[in-house]
Amino acid sequence: GKWVTYVSYPEQALWRSRVDGSDRLQLTYPPALASLPHWSPDATQIAYVDIQPGRPWKTFLISARGGAPQEMLAESDGEVDATWSPDGKKIAFGRTPDTAPERQIVSVFDLVTHQVSTVPGSKGLYSPRWSPDGRYLAALNLDSTKLLLFDFKIEKWSDWITEPEALGYPNWSPDGSYLYY
């Protein structure tokens, strides 16, 4: 709650600062075009999407103190919407629209083992968001009309909300009681 991260426009540079605007630090520079930043639970790293024309969108991790960004996965598929597990040991992410339909899944990258796994039943979902207690993962369907909830205890998805218009940018309240969209 002491720091914020944001993307400046039109430059699309990633910044971090204290909530009062002090201690500003630019974290990314051209040709990187940053988007969708998310803090690690211990506030030491930021995961963000690097958008480069003609290339797949890729998730990068960077220290909140600055330095060289590290590509999360060296693969050809795009990665977007990184969300940290509450313990900071895993990152769930979706795929970009240009990814082959059979790869439109929600995956989990284990930062300790460097293994990638698929969330069961997540085909056709994106924009995952881990609940603060770690029990649930919320995600959107590809046309953004449904918000689904995965329960890690029972390993099952349930339809949570359906809207005729598009849903977007889901975010859990800090206590996990609400999911804003």
Residue-level pLDDT, tens digit, the chain, 181 residues: 899 999 999 999 999 999 999 999 999 999 999 999 999 999 999 999 999 888 889 999 999 999 999 999 998 888 999 999 999 999 999 987 666 767 789 999 999 999 999 999 999 999 999 999 999 999 999 889 999 999 999 999 999 999 988 899 999 999 999 999 9
- What H or E segment, with its residue span, contains residue 78? none
Position of tokens 């960077």? 62
C-alpha–C-alpha distance, residues 12 and 9, integer Å:
5
Helix, strand, coil shares of the chain, percent, nearest 5, are 0, 45, 55
> Are 145 and 124 contacting, i.e. CB atoms less than 8 angstroms apart?
no
C-alpha–C-alpha distance, residues 36 and 60, integer Å:
11
C-alpha–C-alpha distance, residues 129 and 179, integer Å:
9
Q: What is the pLDDT of residue 103?
A: 79
Q: What is the pLDDT of residue 75?
A: 87
> Are 128 and 94 contacting, i.e. CB atoms less than 8 angstroms apart?
yes
Instruction: Compute the residue count for the chain.
Output: 181
pTM: 0.92
Q: What is the pLDDT of residue 70?
A: 96
> Are 137 and 106 contacting, i.e. CB atoms less than 8 angstroms apart?
yes
Q: What is the pLDDT of residue 95?
A: 87
1-35 as b/e: b if 16+ CB within 10 A: eeeebebeeeeebbbbeeeeeeeeeebbeeebbbe
> Are 169 and 139 contacting, i.e. CB atoms less than 8 angstroms apart?
no
